[in-house]
Chains A and B, each alone.
Chain A
Amino acid sequence: MRLLMFGRLSHLAIDSCDVPPSIADSAGLRAHLGEQWPELNDPKVKMAVNRTLVHGIVPIGADDEIAFLPPMSGG
């Protein structure tokens, strides 16, 4: 799994080693990482799985690219 952080989250040093294999969906991943990095629990922080914005809860696996996106600033 590849984890990417953007904007004000980009300083967070989170590695895929922080994700246990039992995590099976986007909500589970956020809840797990949110225990250590509470910024990720902010509902304004969106998630993208394989570069597609997540609406609701989607399954995730070892081959996926997961991005945490704080509110965008616009161009």
Chain B
Amino acid sequence: MIRVLEAPFDPAEALARFIADAGHGAVVSFVGIVRGDGGVETLTLDHYPGFTEPGLAQMVDAMIARHGLTAASVIHRFGTMRPGEPIMFAATAAPHRRAALLALDELLDRLKTEAPFWKKERRDGRDHWLEASGADRTDAARWVTIDG
């Protein structure tokens, strides 16, 4: 399930709902929280309605197929957030833990580089647009190598 929303969400509630639907075996989840390092005052995400959601759904579907998951979910916020606010929830479920762990690791690497969002940080009262970091690209490239 994919949700792209502007309003704050409760990760605990998201996890509870995911577990209720996930089936038996293993559930692994991740919560991303806006960082305040480097003097970040706010983080704003721009998205393209009708383009961003299918892009995320494609990533989730690929993970379900590739890792044999029983379920996978991404909740992602857009708009303006402050440090400390949850920005993303991702979860995977599989009959056994290894597949769920591996799938979530790959899903997060792909989300960090390929998710159709545009981010800007406000620091010292000025906006700075960001691109995916070199470290994130290196992380994502691990999976391309495995793809062969």
Contacts and interface: CB of A to CB of B under 8 A. Distances in A.
Contact of A8 (B113, B115, B129): B129
A1 B129 CA distance: 27
A67 B114 contact: no
In which size bucket is the chain A interface?
Answer: 10 to 19
A75 B48 contact: no
Interface in B16-54: 32, 45-46, 48, 50-51, 54
* Main secondary structure on A side of the interface with B: loop
Nearest to A44: B131
A51 interface: yes
Nearest to A71: B131
Interface in A5-39: 6-8, 10
A56 interface: no
Interface residues of B, number: 25
Contact of A6 (B48, B87, B111): B48
B64 to A, nearest CB: 18
B114 A74 contact: yes
30 contacts: A4-B48, A6-B118, A7-B46, A7-B120, A7-B129, A8-B120, A8-B129, A10-B46, A10-B118, A48-B51, A51-B48, A51-B51, A51-B54, A69-B48, A69-B116, A70-B129, A71-B132, A72-B114, A72-B117, A72-B132, A73-B118, A73-B119, A73-B129, A73-B132, A74-B113, A74-B114, A74-B136, A75-B88, A75-B111, A75-B115
Q: State the 6 A-B residue pairs at the shortest beta-carbon distance, nearest first.
A: A7-B118, A75-B115, A73-B119, A8-B129, A75-B111, A74-B112
Interface of B: 32, 45-46, 48, 50-51, 54, 76, 87-88, 111-120, 129-132, 136
